[in-house]
Amino acid sequence: MPQRILIVDDDPHIRQLLVFALEKAGFTTCEAENGEAALAKAADTAPDLVVLDINMPRMNGLEVCRRLRSESDVPILFLSSRDEEIDRVLGIELGADDYVVKPFSPREVTARIGAILRRTGSQGSKAQAPDEGLGRGRLSLDPDGWIASWDGQDLTLTVTEFGILRALAAAPSKVFTRDALIDRLRGPGFAITDRTIDSHVRNLRSKFAQVGGHDVVETRAGVGYRLGACQGGSA
């Protein structure tokens, strides 16, 4: 079955542009012109990914993201203007997986969507089969099922958060620079910032801290990140 993409933007021209590009690439699409309609459409259609504009009237994309994240781990790709850097960072901290800056190329959006979906689809599962049984201390990962757990308690992580954790767990003694994590997640040359990686790591730490996992990700000052002891102590 073709994967369904929900496109949320108050500009009908942008929606039409993305519908044409995505359906040409083999996806099915549905549309929403505002945040309230997006939440209703997401509940009705269960999309595989949401393309979400940040700057919308009545209910902006950040609030839509917050509400979606309270109920679902559906991947979210933000559309944002060049002057909305703070909102982009907030969106990542709320659980969005990636963003594209306007004006954008429809081919770029399609490529970003494909990259996100591959990490949760059958191709991603096959690629990660050698990582089966990853874990350390009280942390365990199921790469095929995209499940992270602490002491047997499953946590809800976004696609990107899980990808970072899996990369660290696959090489627990290695210190990953931010650029190395970007390359591992997206492929070399992907247009994403160090600040975005930091936001995802903060999210990971916060989620694990809520269940006692204060030492899941360790920072090496001036270098990057590596997997912590995962015993429940301070990071």
pLDDT tens profile 195-233: 778 888 998 999 999 999 999 999 988 889 999 999 986
Work out the pLDDT band at 189, boundaries 50, 70, 90.
very low
- Determine, yes or no, domain membership for 233: no
Which residue from 89, 44, 37, 95 is spatially nearest to 68, judged by alpha carbons? 95
Residue where a domain stops, chosen among 67, 94, 118: 118
Q: What is the mean predicted confidence (pLDDT) over 39-56?
A: 93
Domain shared by 46 and 132, yes or no: no
User: How far is it, in rounded angstroms, from Cα 22 to Cα 1?
Assistant: 15
Burial, 55: exposed, middle or buried (Cβ in 10 Å; 0-12, 13-18, 19+)?
middle
pLDDT value for 41: 94
Domain count, the chain: 2
Statement to judge: residues 38 and 87 lie in one domain: yes
Asked which of 58, 87, 118 is the last residue of a domain, the reply is: 118
Quick one: pLDDT band at residue 123, thresholds 50, 70, 90? very low
44-47: long-range pairs with CB below 8 Å, 24+: 45/4, 45/6, 46/4, 47/4, 47/5, 47/6, 47/74
The segment with the largest mean pLDDT, out of 37-46, 101-110, 184-193, is 37-46
Domain containing residue 184: 127-227
Q: Of 101, 59, 61, 105, give the one whose Cα is nearest residue 80.
A: 101
Confidence label for 127 from pLDDT (cuts 50, 70 and 90): very low
In a domain, residue 57? The reply is yes
Question: Which of 118, 150, 175 is where one domain is finished?
Answer: 118
Q: pLDDT of 96-120, one tens digit each? A: 888 888 888 999 899 889 888 877 6
Residues 14 and 60 in one domain: yes
For the residues 32-58, what does the mean pLDDT come to? 93
**What is the greatest pairwise CA distance in the chain?**
52
Q: For position 43, which CATH number holds?
A: 3.40.50.2300
